[in-house]
């Protein structure tokens, strides 16, 4: 008969309490309130079973996130948002509308081991991409990985479409938020994010984060901590991006760094949009100087690297920018073998 000490019992009760968040799910702002433990699916397209689309090193993030060998990425399947031109469309629609053959189901222990495997590869950090709808499982995996020797920082790579309930759970475990502020304009949000209310949700999200991470810092190894805010210029929406820059200057520039991206590429190649002109680009640079936004990164016009991933491949990104985790690949091959039996 196995006897558990009081600390183990407390840890188990915390774990069970955390997983209860799936039974009446309010982890994202859709507040679907479905019981995902019973197999019900909300807007994210996922049950409570964690599915991972890819894991490995990626060298295409911002410099302090990429580091020397690359950021240790874990791409989760499903998404609460479903943007119209999502570059990760193969995996973001989840079980309800995506390619369900892309991605593997993993246990919490396997997710923890995935983090350890990335650390062994020399990853700069653990970069969790679109994990909102799996927050309780991710928290438990981080705890287990820490007990197994994980020392890397945790990056929360997010669309910004978060609930305060979900953020309150995950925030104690996050070192750096790599977070989108896609737009503050409801019409732009409706067209490109498929939800007009994104423009309403994002402001209190950023208020919450600034209150808890009031400044950007770097440790002795150059690891960034705090908030790194991403914004992509959507086609024909220059005024909305200028509105965002004014908001950033007024609300965020003393608390966060900015990553401004200007190269919009429809992932399926089925739609053509006019590219940003040099005059429009220069107007953004001039506005940033006027607003004294100095800390961060701006994508160059000449950046034409094909960033659109193909998650049907073992390495979805250009090989010079990515390296698959052998541990993830082994799990993937095992899953494929089981499916063919």
For the stretch 43-52, pLDDT in tens is: 999 999 999 9
DSSP state of 7: H
CA distance 287 to 239: 12
> For residue 336, what pLDDT band results from cuts at 50, 70 and 90?
confident
pLDDT band with cut points at 50, 70 and 90 for residue 137: very high
Which token pair is 134? 């799996």
Rounded to whole angstroms, the Cα distance separating 245 from 242 reads: 5
39 in a domain, yes or no?
Answer: no
pLDDT on residue 339? 73
Per-residue pLDDT at 31? 96
Q: Which residues are annotated as a binding site?
A: 79, 83, 86
Which residue, 68, 108, 42, 41, is CA-closest to 221?
68
Into how many domains does the chain fold? 1
pLDDT score of 97 more than 80: no
pLDDT in the model for residue 305: 64
Label residue 100 by pLDDT band (50, 70, 90): low
Query: Residue 20: inside a domain, yes or no?
Result: no
The proportion of the chain whose per-residue pLDDT surpasses 90, expressed as a percent, equals: 79
Does residue 12 sit within a domain?
Answer: no
For the chain, percent of residues with pLDDT exceeding 70: 91
Q: Does residue 268 lie within any of the structural domains?
A: yes
Helix ranges, 213-277 (H)? 238-247
This prediction's pTM = 0.93
Of the pLDDT bands very low, low, confident and very high (cuts 50, 70, 90), residue 71 is very high
Q: How many CA atoms, within 13 angstroms, populate the side-chain half-sphere of residue 207? A: 7
- Residue 6 pLDDT greater than 60, yes or no: no
At 271 the pLDDT is 78
Instruction: Report the run of H or E that residue 75 belongs to, with start and end.
Output: strand 71-76
pLDDT digits (tens, 9 = 90+) for 149-162: 999 999 999 999 99
pLDDT for res 3:
47
Give me the residues paired with residue 54 across strands.
Answer: 75
Q: Per-residue confidence at 340, pLDDT binned at 50, 70, 90?
A: low
| Dmax (CA) of the chain | 74
pLDDT at residue 144, rounded to an integer: 98
Mean pLDDT of 67-92: 94
Mean pLDDT of 236-247: 98
Give pLDDT tens digits for 7-23.
444 455 566 667 889 99
- Whether 206 maps to a domain, the answer reads yes
**Distance separating alpha carbons of residues 170 and 168, to the nearest angstrom:** 6
Higher pLDDT, 142 or 221: 142
Mean pLDDT check: name the lowest of 39-43, 83-87, 159-163.
83-87
Residue 145, number of CB atoms within 10 A of its CB: 25
Known binding site for [4Fe-4S] cluster: residues? 79, 83, 86
Judge whether 8 lies within some domain. Answer: no
| Residue 314, domain member (yes or no) | yes
CATH code for the domain of 117: 3.20.20.70
Average pLDDT on 243-267 reads 95
Question: pLDDT tens for residues 166-203?
Answer: 999 999 999 999 999 999 999 999 999 999 999 999 99
- Please tell me the predicted confidence (pLDDT) of residue 267: 78
Domain range enclosing 134? 48-340
- Which tens digit of pLDDT belongs to each residue from 285-325? 999 999 999 999 999 987 666 678 999 999 999 888 999 99
Decide: 132 and 126 in contact? Cβ < 8 Å.
Answer: no
Q: What's the mean pLDDT when you consider all of the chain?
A: 91
The answer to whether residue 89 sits within a structural domain is yes
């Amino acid at each position: 008969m196995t006897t558990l000490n009081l600390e183990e019992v407390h840890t188990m009760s915390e774990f069970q309490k955390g997983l209860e968040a799936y039974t009446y799910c309010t982890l994202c702002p859709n507040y679907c309130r479905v019981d995902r433990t019973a197999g019900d699916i909300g807007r994210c397209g996922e049950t409570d079973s964690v599915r991972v689309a890819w894991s490995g090193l990626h060298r295409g993030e911002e410099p302090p996130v990429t580091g020397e060998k690359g950021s240790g990425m874990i791409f989760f399947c499903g998404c609460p948002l479903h943007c119209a031109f999502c570059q990760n469309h193969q995996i973001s629609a989840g079980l309800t509308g995506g390619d369900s053959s892309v991605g593997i189901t993993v246990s919490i222990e396997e997710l923890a081991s995935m983090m350890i495997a990335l650390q062994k590869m020399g990853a700069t950090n653990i970069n969790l991409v679109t994990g909102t709808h799996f927050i309780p499982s991710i928290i438990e995996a981080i705890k287990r990985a820490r007990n197994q020797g994980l020392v890397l920082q945790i990056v929360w790579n997010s669309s910004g479409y978060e609930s305060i309930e979900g953020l309150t759970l995950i925030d104690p475990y996050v070192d750096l938020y790599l977070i989108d502020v896609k737009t503050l304009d409801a019409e732009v949000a409706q067209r490109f994010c498929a939800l007009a209310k994104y423009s309403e949700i994002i402001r209190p999200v950023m208020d919450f984060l600034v209150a808890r991470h009031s400044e950007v810092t770097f440790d002795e190894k150059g690891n960034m901590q705090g908030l790194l805010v991403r914004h992509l210029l959507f086609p024909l929406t220059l005024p909305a991006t200028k509105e965002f820059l004014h908001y950033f200057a007024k609300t965020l520039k003393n608390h966060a760094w900015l990553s401004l991206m200007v190269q919009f590429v429809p992932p399926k190649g089925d739609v053509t949009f006019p590219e940003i002109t040099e005059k429009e680009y220069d107007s953004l640079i001039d506005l940033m100087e006027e607003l004294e936004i100095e800390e961060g990164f701006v994508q160059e016009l000449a950046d034409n690297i094909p960033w659109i991933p193909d998650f049907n491949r073992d390495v979805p990104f250009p090989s010079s920018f990515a390296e698959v985790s052998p541990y993830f690949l082994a799990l993937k091959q095992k899953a494929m073998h089981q499916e063919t039996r």
